[in-house]
Structure 1
Amino acid sequence: MKDPVRKLAVLGSPIAHSRSPALHRAAYRVLGLPWEYGSAEVASGELGGFLSGLDDSWRGLSLTMPLKREILPLLGGRDAVTDLVGAANTVLFDDGRVLGFNTDVYGAEMMLAECLPGTLRRALILGSGATASSMLAALARRGVEEVVVAARTPENAGGLITVADRLGVAIAVGGFDTDPGAPDVVVSTLPGTAESGGGFSQELRSSVPLVDIAYDPWPSAVAGHWLEAGGVVNSGLGMLIHQAIAQVRIFVGGDPGRVLPDEEGVLAAMREAALGRS
C-alpha cells in the first residue's frame, strides 16, 4: 500500500526567500515519501484563518517571522523547549491535535558547535525577537553565562529577559549604541537587509566572530560590516539545516529526537539543497 500524500508548508512574511521547501523536498525524496511541501505568505494576524482552512491531508507547518509567538494560543499542546523560550517554529497535526515544537534551539546549538567549538562565556545578541530567545537558549547550552542584547526597540525585549531569567543567564538590554563589552561571539538575529551593525567598533568586528542567522541576501548587511573589517563570519545555513532535520523527524515520527531512516543520507541531501545544488 502506498503512503498517502501529506501536505506541509512554511509560513511567514516575507516568505519568498525561504529555502525550507527545497530542504524538506530533498528530505522526503530520500525517505521515499510522496509528500508535498510548499510555502505561503501569512502575515501577522492571519495565522488563525489559515489554520481553519486546512483539511485532514495536512501533516504540519514550519513557521518563521512573525508567527512563532502568534501560534502559541492556537496550540493544543507544546514541547518543553517551546515553553522555555515562548516561541514555536513547528506545528504537527496529529489526530485532530495541533501540537507545537521549537527546533530552532536545537538548530542553533548544532550550528554553534560546528562553527565555534571552543569555550563561550559572554555573547552579544543583535535583535530581541522570537529567534533571539531561541539563540539565547542555545548559547546557554553552550555555557554562556552573560549576554548583552542590542535591539532596535529595547522596551520590547521583555520576552528575552524572561527567558534569560529562566536560564540563569545575566542579561543587559540596550539600543544599537550599547557598549557590548568583550563578548566571545556576536549573534545576529536581524533580517538580512537590516543595516544595524555598522556602528560597532573596527576592533570588535575584526576580532569577535559573527554568527548570523540570515542567509538571504548574503552577505547580509550585518555580515557585510564584519567582512569589511576583516572579521570572521558564519551564515545561518547551518542553523537552517539542523532545525529542518529536527522538523522532518517530527513530521515523520512525531518526535524531534527520533533518528530518521538513513538520516546521514537525508542530511547530505538537505545540505546540497541549501546550497542550491538540487
Structure 2
Amino acid sequence: MTEHLYILGHPIAHSKSPVMYNAVYERAGLPWHYGTADLATRAEAEAFLATRDFLSINITTPYKPEAFAAADVRAASASLAHGANVLVNKGGALIAYNTDGQGCVAYLEGAGVSFAGKSVVVCGTGPTALSILHAVAQAGPADVLLLGRDKERAHRVMRTYADELGAMIGRTVDMPAFKEGHLSFAEVYRQVDFRFGSYDTSRQAIAGADIIIDATPLGMNEGDGAPFDVALLRADQTVFDVVYGHGETALAAAARAMGCTFFDGAGMLVGQAVVTVGILRDITETAALDIPEDELFAIMADAAGFDL
C-alpha cells in the first residue's frame, strides 16, 4: 500500500524535500510517495492537518505552530521550540518533533565547526530559532545569545524556554545528549550561560561572537536585508543562514565579502531530513530505512543537487 508523506508550508516551490525523501524511499524499496502541500492560508493548513490523511509530514514556514497545536503527543524537541517541523501519524495519533536544531548542529559539526566553549548568537525568536538554540546549547558553548527585533520579546521567549527546560528536568530522568561529547538537558540548564537582547542593543555581542546563526526567514523575499548591521561582522567568525534556494541573501553576501566562514541552509535541510528518516524508521518499525546516516546524507544531498 502506498503511504503518502508531504511537506507543508508556503511558499515551498523552492523546496528540495520531495526529491530528497523520494530518493531515500526508492533506495529502500518502499512504496512511499512524498509530495507537496503548498497552502496559502492558516485555515487551509489547519484543515489539511485535521484530515490526518498522511503517514508523516514535514512542516516549514509559517505553519510550525499550527502543526504543534495539532499534535496529540509532543517530543521534548517540539515542546521546547513551541513548534513542530515533523508530524508522524501512528495509528491516528500525531506525534510532533522538531529536528531543525539537531540537523543544523550535526551539519555544522560535520563541516568542522566546533561549538565547545564558544560564544554563539542565534537570531530569531520563532520555533526554528528555539530548536537551534537548544541543539547549540547541547553542543557545549560557553554562552548563547538569543536576539530579536524587540528585546522584551526575546526576554520572554528565552525565559519561557529556560523555565520549560527546568520543568522537564524536574519531572523526568535527565535526558541524555544525542551525541557523545554533548551535554544532557540538566547539564545545559546548569552550565550554559543564556542571554537575550535585540539587534540594536547587542552590537558588541554580535561583533564579539564566534558563531552567528540567522534563524529568521529574512532572505526569502526579494529586497530582504540582514537582521543586524553587517558592518559588525569579522573575518574570523562563522556565519550560518537557514535560508537556501532564494539566491544570495544580504547576510550571505556580507559574510562572504568580509571573509567569514559561511554556510547556507542547504546542509541543515539535509541534516534534519536524516534525523527525520531515523524517526520514521523507529516509529513505523520499517527495517528498510535502517541506512547509515552518512549514506542517507549522501543520497539526499545528491538528489537535491547540493555540493556539501
TM-score (norm 2): 0.79
Query: CA 1:120/1:27 → structure 2, altered by over 3 Å: closer, same or farther?
Result: farther
The structural deviation recorded for 1:155 is: 4.3
The structural deviation recorded for 1:118 is: 5.7
Q: Given that residues 75 and 99 in structure 1 are in contact (C-alpha distance below 8 angstroms), is that contact kept between their aligned partners in structure 2?
A: yes
Instruction: Count matched residues.
Output: 270
The answer on 1:89 being equivalent to 2:118 is no
Query: CA 1:41/1:176 → structure 2, altered by over 3 Å: closer, same or farther?
Result: farther
Q: How do 1:42-191 and structure 2 match up within 5 A?
A: 42=39, 43-55=41-53, 58-115=54-111, 116-117=113-114, 119-157=116-154, 158-164=156-162, 166=165, 167-168=188-189, 169-176=193-200, 178-181=202-205, 182-191=208-217
Q: Given that residues 132 and 160 in structure 1 are in contact (C-alpha distance below 8 angstroms), is that contact kept between their aligned partners in structure 2?
A: no
Instruction: Determine helix, strand or coil for the equivalent of 2:42.
Output: coil
Unaligned runs of 5+ in 2: 166-187
**Would you tell me which structure has more helix in proportion to its own residues?**
2
The C-alpha deviation readout for 1:16-75, integer Å capped at 9, x for no partner, is 1111111111111111112111111233343321123343xx201000111112222211
The answer on 1:247 being equivalent to 2:282 is no
Instruction: Determine helix, strand or coil for the equivalent of 2:64.
Output: coil
Q: Give 2:297's aligned residue.
A: 267
Query: What is the identity, as a one-letter code, of the residue corresponding to 1:98?
Result: L
Q: Given that residues 44 and 67 in structure 1 are in contact (C-alpha distance below 8 angstroms), is that contact kept between their aligned partners in structure 2?
A: yes
Q: Given that residues 6 and 34 in structure 1 are in contact (C-alpha distance below 8 angstroms), is that contact kept between their aligned partners in structure 2?
A: yes
Structure 2 distance, partners of 1:198, 1:113, is 25
The structural deviation recorded for 1:175 is: 3.0
The C-alpha deviation readout for 1:134-189, integer Å capped at 9, x for no partner, is 11011101112423333234444333442245353421221356324211101011
Instruction: Determine helix, strand or coil for the equivalent of 1:69.
Output: helix
Comparing 191-200 with 58-67, greater Cα deviation is found at 191-200
The C-alpha deviation readout for 1:170-226, integer Å capped at 9, x for no partner, is 212213563242111010112234312562325x24221101111112432211111
The answer on 1:231 being equivalent to 2:260 is yes
Query: CA 1:164/1:234 → structure 2, altered by over 3 Å: closer, same or farther?
Result: farther
Q: Give 2:168's aligned residue.
A: none
Instruction: Determine helix, strand or coil for the equivalent of 2:61.
Output: coil
The structural deviation recorded for 1:80 is: 1.9
Structure 2 distance, partners of 1:259, 1:210, is 37
Structure 2 distance, partners of 1:98, 1:262, is 24
TM-score (norm 1): 0.87
C-alpha root-mean-square deviation of aligned residues, in Å?
2.5
Unaligned runs of 5+ in 1: none
The C-alpha deviation readout for 1:63-97, integer Å capped at 9, x for no partner, is 01111122222111111222222221100111111
Comparing 264-273 with 239-248, greater Cα deviation is found at 264-273
Query: What is the identity, as a one-letter code, of the residue corresponding to 2:210?
Result: D
Structure 1 distance, partners of 2:27, 2:300, is 10
Structure 1 distance, partners of 2:36, 2:11, is 11
Q: Give 1:200's aligned residue.
A: 230
Instruction: Determine helix, strand or coil for the equivalent of 1:71.
Output: helix
Q: Percent identity?
A: 29
